Every structure is written in C-alpha cells, then in structure tokens.
Amino acid sequence: MLTLATTTPGDPEIFASLQGEGPSLGRPVAFVRLSRCNLACTWCDTAYTWRFEGDNRPHRDGTAFDRKANQVTLDEAEVAARIAALGQDRLVITGGEPLLQGAALARMVALLPGISVEIETNGTVAPHAALDPLVAQYNVSPKLAHSGNPADLALLPERLEAWAKDVRAWFKFVVAEPDDLAEVLALIEAHGIDRARTFVMPEGTGSAKLRERERWLAPLALEHGLRLSDRLHIHLYGDTRGT
C-alpha cells in the first residue's frame, strides 16, 4: 500500500502537468505526490503532506492539517492504473519524502513498463534495493540551514557522497538569501558534487518573490558555474495542489 497526499479529501494527488523545476523543467509528465516526511522545512509549500494535527514541528504559517482529509492509502496497482490513464511517458514521484515508501514504490513502478521515472527526494534516505534499478533520475534537494532542519538530520555526509557518485542524481538547492550560496559551495566541495549537475533555485511561493530573488541569484549562478532553476508551476498555476 502507498500513502498519498490529497488534492481534496479522499482524492489522491495524481495528475498530469509540466514539470516546474530542475533538469526536466517544462516537460509534460505525470505526477504522484506521496504523504509523510522525515524533515520539517519551515518554508515547506507542501506541509499538508506531513504537518498534521499534533505534529509540533515548526512551520512559518503554523497551520496544522487534518490527517484524514489530507492523506489517503491506496493499493499500488490502483495508483499505477491512475498514472497510466494520464497517458504520459514520464512519471515524477514527489512528496513529502517518497523514499520513505521505497518498497511499495518498487511494486508500483514495476507495473508501469515503458514509463521513465524521476524521484524528488531530500537526499537523506537511501533508495530501496528493488526500486533503485527502476529509476531514471533523482532530483536531490538537500536542505540548507535556513530550512530549520538540524544538519545532523538533513545533511548526511554518507548520503550526499553516494548521491554525488550517482550519475542519475541532479542536485537542487533552495536559496533564500545571497549568503546561502556559501553553504551550497561548501557542500559541493566537501562531498564532490558536480557543479554541472547542480541547480540553485529561489525559495518562494509567488511569482513576484521568485523574480525578486532570481535577479540576484542568476549572476551568482553564473559566477560559480551552477544552473539556475525557476519554479514554472508557480508562475502558471500559483501555489496550488495538483499542478
């Protein structure tokens, strides 16, 4: 069984859209958003996947979500059938933290031959042995200090080094202030991360904030040989579910 996020109560967040971030930006894909996360970013724009009532982990807007309305459990075969019905040749598995459900994901992905799979992960969880061979691309987004997560939970050296050695892994660092670049560069040097596979992306859930931050982030990306990622879905649809 898989535990998914919802768009409306009881309706799993499975949809077709354009990938809004990273190396596949602008590509038509199917999405499935899973529930649950082992980290708690203070600026997380999908807090409804983890910050349920009774969870006191900090978030900047303080909202606590009703678990029954925002989480649904489905059989892997049903999830695969819903994804196949979208008619896309690429699937993005996101969250929450998808790799917490690696074994169930492996069973689901095995039912989707011919569909390329990319997984969005915070980089702290090793891929399940049965899932890993089925994945074409990992979008690894380690969380910097401004996320509010302790480094000993969010930045695990053995995992960062393993991702750095995996040619399928692309790194994406969420940046809120110019000073965050120093932390990004330190992680790149410490763990042998390839700058050619590294994106910096502005933090923000509105077009105006993204554009404001891109104005100073773009020249920094150019200076340090990093890629710049926009958040296309925010400009197209706003900060909404199922987009």
pLDDT in tens, 77-105: 999 999 999 999 999 999 999 999 999 99
Q: Is 61 exposed, middle or buried (0-12, 13-18, 19+ CB in 10 A)?
A: exposed
Question: What domains are defined for the chain?
Answer: 2-173 (3.20.20.70)
> Tell me, what's the pLDDT at 38?
98
Q: Give the H or E element holding residue 223.
A: helix 207-224
Alpha carbon 178 to its chain's center: 22
In 110-214, DSSP assigns E strands to 116-121, 137-140, 169-175, 198-202
Spatial CB neighbours of 171, under 8 Å, sequence gap ≥ 6: 140, 141, 142, 163, 164, 193, 197, 198, 199
Residue 24 has pLDDT above 90, yes or no: yes
Entry field: residues in the chain: 243
> Tell me, what's the pLDDT at 206?
97
d(CA 7, CA 12): 6
* Encoded amino acid at 129, one letter: A
* Encoded amino acid at 80, one letter: A
Alpha carbon 126 to its chain's center: 15
Residue 220 has pLDDT above 90, yes or no: yes
What mean pLDDT value characterizes the chain?
Answer: 97
Which two tokens mark 102? 């690696």
Work out the average pLDDT over 191-214.
98
Work out the average pLDDT over 129-155.
98
d(CA 33, CA 12): 8
Residue 17 vs residues 28, 61, 239: alpha-carbon distances, Å: 6, 27, 14
User: Residue 60 CB: number of other CB atoms within 10 A?
Assistant: 11
Residue 114 has pLDDT above 90, yes or no: yes
> Tell me, what's the pLDDT at 62?
87
d(CA 52, CA 19): 27
Model confidence pLDDT, tens digit, residues 151-186? 999 999 999 999 999 999 999 999 999 999 999 999
Residue 30 has pLDDT above 90, yes or no: yes
Residue 16 has pLDDT above 90, yes or no: yes
**Residue 217 DSSP symbol:** H
Work out the average pLDDT over 207-235.
98
Residue 241 has pLDDT above 90, yes or no: yes
Work out the average pLDDT over 116-122.
98
Which two tokens mark 107? 């069973």
